[in-house]
Chain A
Amino acid sequence: MKKELGITILLVVLCATTAFLNHRFLGAANLANMARLIGMYGIFSIGLGLIIITGGIDLSVGSVFALQGVLLAMALREWHWHWSVAVLATIAGVMVLGLFHGLMIARVRMQPFIVTLCGLLFYRGLARFIADDETKGFGSEGFGALRELATGNVGPVPMPFVILIVVAIISYVVLHRSVYGRYLYAVGRNEDAARYSGINSRLIILSVYVISMMLVGVAGVLIAFYTNSISPANHGSFYELYGIAAAVLGGCSLRGGEGSILGIVIGTALLQVLQNLVNLLGIPSSLNFAVMGAVIFFGVLVDQVLRARQVKKIR
Chain B
Amino acid sequence: MSALLELKHITKRFPGVLALDDVSMSVGRGEVLALIGENGAGKSTLMKILGGVYQADAGEICFEDKPVTIRHVSDALALGIGFIHQELNVLDNLDVAANVFMGREPVWGGPLRLIDRKKIAADSEPYLKRLGLDISPRTPLRDLSLAQQQMVEIAKALSQNARLLIMDEPTSSLTLTETERLLDTVCELSESGVSIIYISHRLGEIEFCADRVVALRDGKNAGELQQSEVSHAKMVSLMIGRKLEDLYVQGKGPQQVGYFQVEGLRTRYRPHHKISYDVARGEILGFAGLVGAGRSEMAQAIFGVDVPLEGTVRIDGQPVTIHNARDAIDAGIYLAPEDRRKTGLITEMVVRENITLAGLKRYSTWSLVRGDRENEAARRQVDSLHVKTPTIETKAVNLSGGNQQKVVLGKWLSLDPKVIIFDEPTRGIDVGAKAEIYRLMRALADRGVAIVMISSDMEEVIGVSDRVAVMHEGDIAGFLKREEFSEQAIMNLAVGRKAA
Contact = CB atoms under 8 A, between A and B. Distances in A.
A290 B367 CA distance: 44
Contacts, number: 75
Given A190-B346, A190-B347, A315-B14, A197 B357 contact: yes
Nearest to B300: A196
A173 B368 contact: yes
Given A189-B349, A193-B345, A196-B337, A179 B305 contact: no
B335 A179 contact: no
Interface stretch (B86-94, B358-366, B439-447): B358-366
B368 A178 contact: yes
Interface string B328-371: 11100001010000111111110001000110110010011100
B349 A195 contact: no
B305 A196 contact: yes
A307 interface: no
A134 interface: no
Nearest to B326: A198
Contact of A186 (B15, B343, B346, B361): B346
A180 interface: yes
A195 B304 CA distance: 10
A186 B357 contact: yes
Nearest to A313: B15
Nearest to B353: A182
Given A189-B346, A190-B347, A199 B15 contact: no
Given A178-B367, A198-B325, A190 B357 contact: no
A189 B350 CA distance: 12
A133 interface: no
B270 to A, nearest CB: 21
A182 B369 contact: yes
A314 interface: yes
Given A189-B348, A196-B344, A179 B360 contact: yes
A84 interface: no
A200 to B, nearest CB: 6
A40 B411 CA distance: 42
B345 A177 contact: no
Contacts of A257: 348
Contacts of B411: 197
A182 B369 CA distance: 9
A179 B347 CA distance: 19
Contacts of A41: none
A179 B367 contact: yes
B247 to A, nearest CB: 28
B486 interface: no
Given A177-B369, A179-B369, A313-B15, A193 B360 contact: no
Interface in A183-197: 183, 185-186, 189-190, 192-197
B398 interface: yes
Interface residues of A, number: 24
B236 to A, nearest CB: 29
Interface string A286-305: 00000000000000000000
A200 B324 contact: yes
A190 B342 contact: yes
A129 B256 CA distance: 71
Contacts of B398: 314
Contacts of B353: 182, 185-186
A185 B369 CA distance: 14
Nearest to B348: A189
A178 to B, nearest CB: 5
B342 A198 contact: no
A198 B329 contact: yes
Nearest to A192: B343
A177 B358 CA distance: 16
Contacts of A195: 305, 324-325, 343
A207 B187 CA distance: 57
Contacts of A196: 303, 305, 325, 335, 337, 343-344
Nearest to A176: B369
Contacts of A179: 360-361, 364, 367-369
B324 A193 contact: no
Contacts of B361: 179
Contacts of B349: 185-186, 189
Contacts of A173: 368
A182 to B, nearest CB: 6
A149 to B, nearest CB: 29
B369 A192 contact: no
A190 B346 CA distance: 6
Contacts of A182: 353, 357, 360, 369
A196 B344 CA distance: 7
Given A182-B357, A198-B329, A177 B368 contact: yes
Contacts of B345: 190, 193
B346 A180 contact: no
Contacts of B344: 193, 196
Residue from B14, B346, B347, B360 with most neighbouring chain A CB atoms (10 Å)? B346
B326 A178 contact: no
Contacts of A194: 346, 357
Highest count of chain B CB atoms <10 Å: which of A179, A192, A194, A199: A179
A262 B99 CA distance: 47
Nearest to B328: A198
A252 B349 CA distance: 15
B301 to A, nearest CB: 13
Contacts of B326: 198-200
Interface in B451-476: none
Contact of B325 (A177, A178, A189, A197): A197
A178 B366 CA distance: 9
Interface in A157-209: 173, 177-180, 182-183, 185-186, 189-190, 192-200
B357 A199 contact: yes
Contacts of B360: 179, 182-183
Contacts of A200: 324, 326
A179 B325 CA distance: 17
A197 B349 CA distance: 13
A178 B348 CA distance: 19
Interface in B37-53: none
A179 B14 CA distance: 39
A194 B348 CA distance: 12
Given A177-B369, A182-B353, A190-B342, A197 B347 contact: no
Contacts of B330: 198
A189 B368 CA distance: 21
Contacts of B348: 189-190, 257
A315 B364 CA distance: 36
Contact of A192 (B342, B357, B358, B367): B342
A198 B412 CA distance: 11
Interface in B399-421: 411
B364 A197 contact: no
Ranked 4 nearest A-B pairs via Cβ: A198-B329, A198-B326, A197-B358, A197-B357
Interface of B: 14-15, 303, 305, 324-326, 328-330, 335, 337, 342-349, 353, 357-358, 360-361, 364, 367-369, 398, 411
Given A185-B349, A199-B357, 7 more contacts: A179-B367, A180-B367, A182-B360, A189-B346, A193-B343, A196-B303, A198-B328
7 contacts: A178-B367, A190-B347, A193-B346, A196-B325, A198-B328, A198-B330, A200-B326
